[in-house]
């Protein structure tokens, strides 16, 4: 019997390497005969991609940033994520609400109850089935980013910002450990792949 389609998210600070592993993860699921949709946040819809362009480039109040992230998310959920899951397609998203708690909450200091309120508003009855959290010391992540020529508004932040983002991610993990797989992203890409392979075996 076909099991229910799953919603899986990839999270971590910029430079943790999650995007590199995400495509490969989706390909392995496809090789196992699953229909898989790869998407990202902010983005994933036409409106969401417009908002992404603004969010990554235009300075704004931290709470405006949080509201726009969740506005893009609502559109993404209603137009893309729920319809895919309903037709039996697995959804793999490069970031979701944990990123808002980490970046707008931890990084920018938006109050946790406000973010929790937005989360309830936008997706009370939907959470990822699994979140792969790529955890890495900030110095290592920064070093990887320094090879990148064009840095967006978030990537241009200082190390202290990313330390707070990392801690807020780990706090989300501690509050809800059963939803997460914590991955040591400082390992070699091969070692990370081996960890992800184990996760896939437990999923399919
Ligand atoms: P990212 O996912 O790192 O994409 P790329 O690999 O193309 O740079 O970029 C998205 C940025 O948006 C990242 O710096 C984190 C930020 N972000 C938030 O601050 N809050 C959110 O809710 C989401 C989804 C992303």
Quote the ligand 1 centre to 11 CA distance (angstroms): 9
Pocket test for ligand 1, best of 152, 156, 157 (most atoms within 8 A of CB): 152
pLDDT tens for 143-169 read: 988 877 789 999 999 989 999 999 999
Would the CB of 95 count as within 6 Å of ligand 1? yes
What does the alpha-carbon distance between residue 2 and residue 105 come to, in Å, rounded to a whole number?
A: 38
Task: Give this prediction's pTM.
Answer: 0.96
pLDDT tens-digit map of 78-131: 999 999 999 999 999 999 999 999 999 999 999 999 999 999 999 999 999 999
How far away, in angstroms, is 2 Cα from ligand 1 center?
A: 33
3 Cα: distance to centroid of ligand 1 (angstroms): 31
The 8-class DSSP code of residue 178 comes to: G
Separation of alpha carbons 81 and 89, rounded Å = 9
Please give the number of the atom of ligand 1 that sits closest to the Cα of 70: 22
* pLDDT at 2 (0 to 100): 60
Is residue 103 within 6 Å of ligand 1 at its C-beta? Answer: yes
């Amino acid at each position: 019997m076909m099991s229910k389609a799953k919603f899986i998210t990839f999270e971590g600070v910029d430079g943790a390497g999650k995007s590199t592993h995400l495509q490969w993860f989706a390909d392995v699921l496809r090789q196992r005969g699953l229909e898989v949709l790869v998407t990202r946040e902010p983005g994933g819809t036409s409106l969401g991609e417009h908002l992404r362009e603004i969010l990554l480039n235009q300075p704004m109040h931290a709470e405006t940033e949080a509201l726009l992230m969740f506005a893009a998310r609502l559109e993404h959920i209603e137009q893309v994520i729920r319809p895919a899951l309903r037709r039996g397609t697995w959804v793999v998203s490069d970031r979701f609400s944990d990123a808002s708690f980490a970046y707008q909450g931890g990084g920018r200091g938006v109050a946790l109850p406000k973010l929790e309120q937005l989360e309830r508003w936008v997706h009370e009855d939907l959470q990822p089935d699994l979140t792969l959290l790529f955890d890495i010391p900030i110095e290592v992540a920064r070093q990887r980013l320094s090879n990148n020529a064009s840095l967006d508004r978030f990537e241009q932040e200082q190390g202290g910002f990313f330390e707070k983002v990392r801690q807020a991610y780990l706090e989300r993990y501690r509050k809800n450990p059963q939803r997460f797989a914590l991955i040591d992203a400082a390992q070699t890409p091969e070692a990370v792949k081996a960890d992800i392979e184990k996760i896939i075996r437990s999923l399919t």
